[in-house]
Amino acid sequence: MGCGGESSITFISGGCPSPIPPHFQYTGPQLTAAVNFLKANPGKVSIVTLDIGSNDVLRDTTITPSGCVINQPQFDTDLATLDANLTGTILPAIHKALTPKGQVTDRIVMMNYYDPLQNFCPNTVPFTQTLNQHLAADVSGFGTIVDVFGAFGGAGVPNPNICTYTWFTLGCPTSTQPPDIHPTNLGYSVIANTFATAIPPD
């Protein structure tokens, strides 16, 4: 059900900026569609994966020719909104849908984030770590966190994995334009394998 550019706000209220993927058609907010699907298929979904949060704070970093400028007050505000949306609405709604008769039938597994900017802007790493700390705290009690940040190489700079796992190559030996923060096919494979390794068998 993923939608490109989704934030926790659009996840709840709708209005995701990218078209709905053709593999699963739905209208309205992604949260409503997910909850309705789970309610219609009790006990048939073994894992619910959640990838949300980066677009809530992405606007708080401005990339300049010489590095990155981070709007700390806006970051703090956006992070508080993300926390509230996750713990107050998103995670409780999914958890409730997974508990049709008072017993949890499925699991919620949420990923944290790599830092695509870290080679070009090392000052962004602490903010990514802060985001990840909040995500881990938010999902606690509802599900588990998957450490994609660690799988992508962690906080070390330079991080050569960023140059091959993502399309963001500023700060890498070979740069391509325009830079793109999204994973390459290899990066997506690393994410998938990280989920698979972290999820114990039924």
Collect contacts of 129-138 with beta carbons under 8 A, ≥24 apart: 129/155, 130/79, 131/53, 131/54, 131/57, 131/79, 134/79, 134/82, 134/83, 135/53, 135/86, 135/110, 136/112, 137/83, 138/82, 138/83, 138/86, 138/87, 138/91
Q: How far apart are CA 66 and CA 100, in angstroms?
A: 53
pLDDT at 42: 87
Q: What is the mean pLDDT of each run of 10 residues along the chain (202 residues)?
A: 92 84 79 94 89 96 93 98 98 91 76 97 97 98 96 97 94 83 96 91 67
pLDDT at 19: 62
Instruction: Map out the domains of the chain with their CATH numbers.
Output: 8-198 (3.40.50)
> pTM (2 decimals)?
0.93
Which of 119, 124, 132 lies closest to 173, judged by CA?
119
pLDDT at 22: 56
Q: Does the bond joining 19 to the residue before it have cis omega, within 30 degrees of 0?
A: no
